[in-house]
A and B are shown apart, each in its own frame.
Chain A
Amino acid sequence: MDLGAIVQNALRAGVGPDAAVFALAAIGLNVHFGYTGLRNFGQVGFMLVGAYGLGVCVDTLGWSMWVGIPIGLLAAVVLAFALGAPTLRLRMDYFAIVTIASAEILRFVARSTPATDVTGGPFGLPKPRSGGKRPLASEFFALSPFEPGRRYGIGQLQFSGNALWSLLVGWTLVALCTVLVATLVRSPWGRVVKSIREDEDVVRSLGKNVFAFKMQALVLGGMIGALGGIMLALANSSVGANSFQPQVTFFAYTILILGGAATRLGPVVGAFLFQLVFAGSQSLLSQLGAEGHLPALLRGDEAQGALALGLVGVGLMTLMAFRPEGIFGSKQEMVLG
């Protein structure tokens, strides 16, 4: 048993680019669910339109990343309006199901063969056969001060130049979005959205256009989610529909609840811990398997991956049942909710 390796794997995942992507998704979800009380179960749809918005611009159309990124964000705005305009007035159960269904529609369409010329279809971007007009992340990595091939890091905790650049940019975006959201929720705007979360009838009775505030929150959180999708596309230099399964939204909820919903640092702490524990347990399981400590049923990567993922599910249940305020949240506020 190599405990050191397990800790390293866990830490690498905890600070890696994927953790930053999850943190962005969760910050957006915090605006939706944590502060405004919108039960958006299609956050992954916002990530998807961000990633494909960028990917299609660069790979299919050959445009610059600097055009692609704003278009990815704009796609999130369009999605927010399309989702919100008809459904924000519906009861919240319906909103949850409409959002998850919409995200699934987007995923099915993106990966369908008729869409191959645009999205790469089942193959994703970069498109396999013809090849893209422009490599997806070439401009992004051209900005990197690090050598792509070299390993950087302290001791055993090392990243390639490109991974290091991705994670630095990712966490910088996380920091910026955290500050942005923190500033907003301390303003009168934040007071209104938090009040909507508590009881939208009161807010309405006081002369506020609840619908408009919900829409603003949906757009803002969706754009932050799209930023996560864009970051994912850049870090991987690819976009695939399989990265946007419904469970990504569920992970974002797990992260948010783990770190504490409606707290400023909840999404960040949650994303770090989530990736840390997930990668750590996978690494532990794979070592146990290699040393023959696991029953036959749990041998093999598939079973171990499933077990680690299953533990996420159990973790989500346990958290929500016993500590819905998160591991650092205040019990008092939760009881009142």
Chain B
Amino acid sequence: MADADADLVAERAALAEAERTIAPGSAARAARDVLAEVEPEPGVAKPDPILVVEGMRRSFGGLTAVDVDHLEVQRGAITALIGPNGAGKSTLFNLLTGFDRPDHGNWSFDGRPLVGLRTHQIARLGLVRSFQLTKALARLTVLDNMKLAGQDQAGERLLPALARPRWRAQEAAIEGRADALLERFQLSAMRSQLAGTLSGGQRKLLDMARALMTEPRLVCLDEPMAGVNPALTQSLLHHVTGLRDDGTTVLFVEHDIDVVMEISDWVVVLGEGRVIAEGPPHTVAKDPQVIEAYLGVADEENVG
């Protein structure tokens, strides 16, 4: 098992290196321009997909939660996943990141099939998620929450853990990166507090910052803005677009349609587990099927 893990790590490093040479600098503008050329129809192929889903199905009892024929996520873009409650968004996230297993179907990340891989192996390839219900590690400090996410730590192996000199330098480097991220997410003041003492919004930020600490290549954010103090929302949006500018692909679930319109390069609409529409934000917003299936419901929700 250790060998397989080591292989994954090596592979990941190689892929990251390749990525740097293929997509240098900011791909932000480019992503939107490239996607402008793509036909806005469900299951359409993208020029440079980082994630490809093929015939993925998952049902609970008799209820089909996810039934996606084909879906591609463009590298270096921000893709929003929207749909009414129960449309299967979170289930799809769970399936993509290995937290749940599809009844059948394939999906691949950067050309590497993910079928049969375990959750942590998928994460090590650089496909990392955050959680809808925040999962702060309550009885660890905020800083330890962050440092946990550091990859390939020598001190996490049982015997080297006993020899502090073996991991002291790496620990310091990880702490430096953690502090920088905490600064960005305005959590520096809480770094030594137990994470359980944070407010709901702060936990959300910590959850996202922790996912980023792994230096993912595709980060799946499950409702990152829900419950966050409005004053922070804007800066959070800024972080998300910043991620894309740094070359990270973002796939996120969001209910707030304004947020979706503002930051996403591409929108995928799920309804009853299927992809019912996809396209650039403003095209999708005009799709009658989407208005019926999603926006109508959202309006009712807002009124009620």
Binding site for B on A (CB under 8 A): 180, 183-184, 187-192, 194-195, 197-199, 201-210, 212-213, 216, 220, 262, 332-333, 335-337
Contact = CB atoms under 8 A, between A and B. Distances in A.
- Chief secondary structure at chain A's binding surface: helix
Given A188-B167, A201-B131, A204-B119, 4 more contacts: A188-B154, A198-B140, A208-B148, A220-B158
Nearest to A192: B156
B156 A208 contact: yes
Given A187-B167, A207-B124, A210-B120, A202 B131 contact: yes
B10 interface: no
Interface in B140-163: 140, 144-145, 147-151, 153-158, 161-162
Contact of A206 (B118, B139, B194, B214): B214
A126 to B, nearest CB: 36
Nearest to A207: B123
Interface residues of B, number: 43
A201 B99 CA distance: 8
A187 B1 contact: no
Contacts of B153: 188
18 contacts: A187-B156, A188-B161, A189-B155, A189-B158, A190-B161, A191-B147, A194-B139, A198-B139, A202-B131, A202-B137, A202-B210, A205-B97, A205-B119, A205-B123, A209-B118, A209-B120, A332-B194, A333-B139
Contact of A191 (B5, B123, B140): B140
Nearest to A209: B120
B138 A204 contact: no
B184 interface: no
A207 B97 CA distance: 11
A312 B42 CA distance: 66
Contacts of A216: 158
Contact of A188 (B124, B171, B196): B171
By CB atoms of chain B within 10 A, which of A187, A194, A262 has the most? A187
B112 interface: no
Nearest to A203: B148
Contacts of A210: 120
Contact of B148 (A195, A209, A212, A336): A195
Contacts of A195: 137, 140, 144-145, 148
A191 B148 contact: yes
A337 B158 contact: no
Contact of B120 (A187, A189, A204, A335): A204
B68 interface: no
B197 interface: yes
Interface string B104-135: 00000000000000111001100011110001
Q: Which 4 A-B pairs have the closest CB atoms?
A: A336-B196, A188-B155, A207-B123, A187-B161
A197 B151 CA distance: 19
Contact of B123 (A187, A199, A204, A335): A204
A202 B287 CA distance: 37
A180 B162 CA distance: 8
A205 to B, nearest CB: 5
A221 to B, nearest CB: 12
Contact of B1 (A180, A199, A204, A209): A209
A228 to B, nearest CB: 20
A209 B130 CA distance: 17
Given A191-B144, A205-B119, A212 B138 contact: no
Contacts of B156: 187-189, 191-192, 208, 213
B282 interface: no
A205 B149 CA distance: 9
A199 B195 CA distance: 13
B139 A337 contact: yes
Contacts of A189: 155-158, 161
